[in-house]
């Protein structure tokens, strides 16, 4: 049981228990986590940033901006697989309960899309005060997990409730959470997704392309990243971008650029989904000057592009999952099955342009998933986000 590969944003606030946080960081790292620390101004009076940056091997962040540079709280909130606020003072607790955002910690908290764990620390009377208990109740209702306070000697000299849980107990709490959790089933896995159209240049101002917008592939990349995978998205020319900053985005234009990018990333990937609408042909020659309309007709000679999916299918190892798409207009299942076999994919996701709400551009899709053994899973008309979830859930349960 460990925290292997889990990225933790640790928020440290102004409480005497902050002196235990270098030890906490050490233990989190020992359990396999990567830790980035954010301190409030008061926290730095109880624990040195130097100690925390030394043990975490990352600079300690304090303010929304440092001089001329801006600490991107959204990126940090989305980088983290878990946010831990330990110790959490009564003051910060009240801010969390009310969405106050007057420091970097508050901004990261409001931007975090991961589970948040709060280890409160304060004197006994503060802990039992109605407003504190109300705030604890409020943040629990928001879905935050409260790591119970310990009983013992307090900074006031009194004995009672309110001590921050010991670093060991906090680490065990997180390990317990992540070992039960199935929310990150692809943690530690690498995934590759191709999406969007490709443009094949004709001359300096024209290209041959298609109507793909990349929405389906982007939704798949987002879903894989949400499940904890380390995702590379090779994206053809489209204005749509993934939201998740953890996705490694590689922008390409032509089929041959897409081939190079996919071929390079593929070897290390556990799951590969080729959702791009790749042009099958490219102009044999790209005119250096704009083609003029001198004649009444224009003949173009096209040559075949390499088939990326077929190439990856030919080099794929047994432990790699390879998924292709097929967009068909007639004899859909027969053509999709041929692609499955010829390209040595494990699954083909079939869209038919005859189905209303399926295909390019829209926000919905209606697909069937074909497998080599002849099994076919038909999905209803769903949003592209829900289709992505259903496709990946199907592959994972298989
Ligand atoms: N594909 C690819 N490289 C190509 C052409 C297609 O990787 N040069 C992939 C697509 O990303 C998709 C699958 O192959 O995953 C099927 O694409 P599709 O356009 O439906 O079929 P094609 O193989 O191009 O066959 P056809 O156009 O004749 O239907």
Rounded Cα gap, residues 360 and 353, in angstroms: 9
Nearest-atom number in ligand 1 for the CA of 310 is: 7
Give the distance (Å) from ligand 1 centre to CA of residue 302.
Answer: 17
Rounded distance from Cα 194 to ligand 1 centre (Å)? 12
pLDDT at residue 183 in the model = 64
Predicted pLDDT of residue 360? 81
- Encode pLDDT of 366-392 as tens digits: 999 999 888 999 999 888 988 999 999
pLDDT in tens, 105-120: 999 999 898 899 999 9
From the CB of 274, is ligand 1 less than 6 Å away? Answer: yes
Residue 62's φ and ψ, nearest 5 degrees, are -120, -45
Residue 242 in contact with residue 221, Cβ under 8 Å? yes
| 305 is annotated as an active-site residue | no
Name the pLDDT band for 184 (thresholds 50, 70, 90).
confident
Among positive and negative, which fits the CA dihedral 356, 361, 364, 365? positive
Residue 67 pLDDT: 64
Burial 191-226 (b: 16+ CB within 10 A, else e): bbbbbbbbbbbbeeeebbbbebbbbbbbbbbbbbbb
At 22-73, the pLDDT tens digits run 999 999 999 999 999 999 999 999 999 999 999 999 999 988 876 666 767 7
Whole-angstrom distance, CA of residue 84 vs CA of residue 263: 38
CA-CA distance, 242 to 252, in Å (whole number)? Answer: 15
CA 165 to chain centre: 30
Q: How much distance in Å is there from the Cα of 323 to the middle of ligand 1?
A: 12
pLDDT value for 68: 67
Domains of the chain (ranges, CATH numbers):
7-183 (3.40.50.1950), 190-397 (3.40.50.10300)
- Residue pointed to by tokens 């009310």: 98
Q: Does residue 261's CB lie within 6 angstroms of at least one atom of ligand 1?
A: no
Residue 167 tokens, joined: 């670093």
In this structure, what are the phi and psi dihedrals at residue 87, rounded to the nearest 5 degrees? Answer: -75, 155
261 vs 140 pLDDT, higher one = 261
Ligand 1 nearest atom to the CA of residue 349, by list position: 15
Give residue-wise pLDDT tens across range 313-367: 999 999 999 999 999 999 999 999 999 999 999 999 999 888 887 878 788 899 9
Residue with tokens 């038909």: 378
Instruction: Classify 230 as helix, strand or coil.
Output: strand
**97-102: average pLDDT:** 95
* Spatial separation of the C-alpha atoms in residues 367 and 50, rounded to whole Å: 54
Given a contact cutoff of 8 angstroms between Cβ atoms, the answer to whether 186 and 228 are in contact is yes
pLDDT above 80: residue 180: no
Per the model's pLDDT, the better-predicted residue between 52 and 152 turns out to be 52
Could you give the CA distance from residue 130 to residue 136 in angstroms, rounded to a whole number? 10
Contact 252, 235 (CB under 8 A): yes
pLDDT at 1 over 70: no
Cα-based angle 166, 118, 123 (whole degrees, multiple of 5): 65
Percent of the chain with pLDDT over 90: 72
Ligand 1 binding pocket includes 278 (Cβ within 6 Å): yes
Contact between 111 and 73 under an 8 Å Cβ cutoff? The reply is: yes
**Helix, coil or strand: residue 208:** strand
How much is the average pLDDT of 212-218?
96
What pLDDT, on a 0 to 100 scale, did the predictor assign at position 333? Answer: 94
| Predicted pLDDT of residue 81 | 92
Residue 231 has what pLDDT? 93
Nearest protein Cα to ligand 1, atom 9: 309
* Most informative mutation of 271, 274, 330 for ligand 1 (most atoms within 8 A of CB): 274
Please tell me the distance between residue 279's alpha carbon and the centre of ligand 1 in angstroms: 8
Three-class DSSP category at 183: coil
How far apart (Å, rounded) are the C-alpha atoms in residues 86 and 106?
Answer: 13
> Residue 182: what pLDDT?
59
CB 258 within 8 A of CB 305: no
Beta carbon of 307 within 6 Å of any ligand 1 atom: yes
Mean pLDDT of 218-245: 90
**Is it the case that residue 77 has pLDDT exceeding 90?**
no
Q: Are strands 367-371 and 376-378 parallel, antiparallel or unpaired?
A: antiparallel
Dihedral in degrees, nearest 10, Cα atoms 206, 209, 211, 217: -130
Residue 85: name the closest of 146, 138, 151 by CA: 146
What pLDDT is attached to residue 37? 97
How many angstroms separate the alpha carbon of residue 181 from the centre of ligand 1? 37
């Amino acid at each position: 049981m460990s925290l292997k590969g889990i990225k933790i944003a640790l928020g440290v606030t102004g409480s005497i228990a902050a002196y235990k946080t270098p030890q906490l960081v050490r233990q989190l790292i020992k359990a396999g986590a990567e830790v980035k620390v954010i301190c409030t101004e008061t926290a730095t009076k109880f624990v040195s940033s130097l100690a925390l940056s030394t043990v975490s091997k990352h600079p300690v962040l304090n303010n929304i901006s440092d001089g001329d540079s801006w600490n991107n709280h959204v990126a940090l909130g989305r980088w983290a697989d878990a946010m831990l606020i330990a110790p959490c003072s009564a003051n910060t607790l009240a801010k969390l309960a009310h969405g106050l955002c007057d420091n970097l910690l508050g901004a990261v908290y409001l931007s975090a899309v991961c589970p948040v764990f709060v280890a409160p620390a304060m004197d006994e009377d503060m802990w039992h005060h109605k407003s504190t208990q109300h705030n604890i109740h409020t943040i629990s209702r928001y879905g935050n997990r409260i790591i119970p306070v310990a009983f013992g000697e307090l900074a006031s000299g009194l004995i009672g409730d309110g001590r921050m849980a010991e670093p060991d107990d906090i680490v065990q709490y997180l390990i317990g959470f992540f070992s039960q959790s199935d929310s990150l089933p692809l943690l530690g896995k690498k995934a590759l997704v191709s999406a969007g159209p490709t443009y094949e240049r004709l001359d300096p101002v024209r290209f041959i392309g298609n109507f793909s917008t990349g929405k389906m592939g982007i939704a798949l990349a987002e879903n894989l990243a949400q499940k904890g995978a380390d995702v590379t998205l090779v994206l053809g020319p489209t204005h749509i971008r993934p939201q998740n900053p953890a996705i490694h985005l590689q922008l390409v234009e032509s089929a041959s650029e897409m081939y190079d990018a996919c071929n390079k990333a593929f070897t290390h990937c556990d799951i590969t989904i080729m959702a791009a609408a790749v042009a099958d042909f490219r102009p044999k020659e790209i005119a250096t000057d704009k083609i003029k309309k001198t004649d009444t007709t224009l003949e173009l000679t096209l040559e075949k592009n390499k088939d990326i999916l077929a190439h990856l299918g030919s080099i794929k190892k047994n432990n790699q999952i390879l998924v292709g798409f097929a967009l068909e207009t007639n004899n859909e299942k027969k053509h999709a099955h041929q692609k499955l076999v010829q390209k040595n994919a494990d699954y083909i996701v079939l869209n038919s342009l005859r189905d209303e709400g399926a295909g390019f551009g829209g926000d919905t899709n209606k697909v069937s998933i074909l497998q080599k053994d002849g099994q076919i899973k038909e999905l209803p008309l769903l949003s592209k986000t829900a289709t992505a979830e259903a496709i990946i859930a199907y592959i994972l349960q298989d």
